[in-house]
Amino acid sequence: MPLTMARPGETVTIRKITGKDEVRAHLAELGFVVNTDVTVVSEMGGNLILQVKDSRIALDRSMANRILF
């Protein structure tokens, strides 16, 4: 399921990242790699604030949909 389906406060493990190589590389630089735990901090209008490792990162709906758990 895409990351946009996770509820605020829920921690999920990334299973797959879709998209072009450039997009996957950019997400990897931000810390979104397979088998990493991600916590949804909050959601507004489909946009997410995520806790990844020691960082909080905001992603829009289209980018969050590329991350599957």
> Would you say domain 3-68 falls under CATH 2.30.30.90?
yes
What pLDDT is recorded for position 33? 95
pLDDT at res. 46: 82
Domains of the chain, residue spans: 3-68
Q: Is the pLDDT of residue 3 over 90?
A: yes
CB-count exposure of residue 1 (10 Å: 0-12, 13-18, 19+): exposed
Tens digits of residue pLDDT in 10-35: 999 999 999 999 999 999 999 999 99
pLDDT tens for each residue of 46-62: 899 999 999 999 999 99
Indicate the pTM of the whole model: 0.90
Q: For the chain, how many residues are written?
A: 69
Strand partners, 58: 49
Tally helices (H) and strands (E) across the chain: 2, 6
Q: How far is CA 32 from CA 1, 4, in A?
A: 15, 14
